[in-house]
């Protein structure tokens, strides 16, 4: 399931983050790449242990916490601390699959990467190229979103970032370990939850909403890993 989450951050929040990111020092993005990814990764990153990365990562986490759509789609158990990257001057990331297990540098905690996330921090008109291209069973999807918008997609997917030929593409990226391991089950629960929410608006007080809510929670109770 590939899904766009709008307005995770406001324009003002993005502007605040960009002012700090544009004034800081970046390092070679290969420092966090696995063996195979190192050969196809050409970008810059904010060091994971830098105080700025932790400060801005907390802002991203607050944005996620106030997004009902993110909670419904991801059903998060753990979120890897958000990181930040920059592509410019032809920078790209060739086709790869994300590492299955990530370990936090600061705490040593490991998470299973069920879902990958990219939060866009540059207006799409400010750079050429830089599309996130995700391949799944339904074809190939090219993603380039407005500032503050985020895309979620299965970490098992083949994906790449096209070369940036003008300007710079700055984003936050991270991974989620979901309470629901499989993408197909998450997609089913997300669709069911969205249907329940539409019913609440279109048929308020309908017993159908109560029944479907019971089905939703019973499935979640059966499938969730804690």
* Chain region(s) in the chain for CATH 4.10.860: 183-223
Give the span between the Cα atoms of 182 and 114, in whole angstroms. Answer: 8
Would you say the pTM of this structure is higher than 0.85? Answer: yes
Contact 140, 160 (CB under 8 A): no
Quote the DSSP letter at residue 80.
Answer: P
> Which structure tokens are listed for 13?
């929040």
Give the span between the Cα atoms of 192 and 190, in whole angstroms. Answer: 5
Helices (H), 68-206: 68-74, 183-202
Give the span between the Cα atoms of 97 and 171, in whole angstroms. Answer: 18
Cβ atoms within 10 Å, residue 91: 21
For the chain, 226 residues long, give each residue's pLDDT as a single digit of tens.
999 999 999 999 999 999 999 999 999 877 665 555 667 889 999 999 999 999 999 999 999 999 999 999 999 999 999 999 999 999 999 999 999 999 998 889 999 999 999 999 999 999 999 999 999 888 899 999 999 999 999 999 999 999 999 999 999 999 999 999 999 999 999 999 999 999 999 999 899 999 999 999 999 999 999 9
Give the span between the Cα atoms of 40 and 77, in whole angstroms. Answer: 30
The CATH class for the domain spanning 183-223 reads few secondary structures
- Tell me how many helices (H) and strands (E) the chain has: 6, 17
E strand segments, the chain = 3-5, 27-28, 41-42, 44-45, 76-79, 83-88, 92-96, 101-103, 110-112, 115-120, 128-129, 132-136, 139-143, 150-154, 158-161, 164-166, 168-178
The CATH class for the domain spanning 3-178 reads mainly beta
* Chain region(s) in the chain for CATH 2.60.120.620: 3-178
- Report percent pLDDT > 70 for the chain: 96
User: What digits encode the pLDDT tens for the residues 188-201?
Assistant: 999 999 999 999 99
Task: Please tell me whether residue 162 adopts helix, strand or coil conformation.
Answer: coil
**Adjacency order of strands within the sheet including 132-136:** 41-42, 92-96, 158-161, 132-136, 139-143
Which of left, alpha, beta for 137 (phi over 0: left; psi -120 to 50: alpha)?
A: alpha
């Amino acid at each position: 399931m590939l899904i766009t989450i709008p307005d995770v951050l406001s324009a003002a929040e993005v502007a605040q983050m960009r002012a700090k990111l544009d004034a800081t020092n970046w390092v070679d993005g290969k420092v966090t790449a696995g063996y195979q990814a190192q050969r196809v990764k050409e970008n810059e990153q904010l060091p994971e242990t830098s105080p700025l990365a932790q400060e801005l990562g907390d802002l991203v986490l607050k944005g996620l916490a106030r997004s009902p759509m993110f909670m419904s789609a991801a059903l998060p158990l753990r979120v890897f601390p958000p990181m930040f990257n920059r592509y410019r001057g032809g920078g790209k990331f060739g086709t790869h699959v994300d590492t299955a297990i990530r370990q936090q540098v600061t705490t040593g905690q490991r998470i299973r990467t069920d879902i990958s996330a990219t939060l866009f921090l540059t207006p799409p008109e400010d750079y050429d190229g830089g599309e996130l291209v995700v391949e799944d069973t339904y074809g190939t999807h090219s993603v380039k979103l407005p500032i503050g918008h985020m895309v979620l997609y299965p970490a098992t997917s083949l994906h790449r970032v096209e070369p940036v030929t003008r300007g710079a593409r700055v984003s936050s990226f991270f991974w989620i370990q979901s309470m629901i391991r499989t993408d197909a089950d998450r997609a089913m629960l997300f669709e069911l939850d969205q249907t329940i929410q539409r019913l609440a608006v279109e048929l308020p007080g309908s017993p159908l909403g109560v029944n479907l809510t019971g089905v939703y929670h019973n499935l979640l109770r059966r499938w969730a890993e804690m």
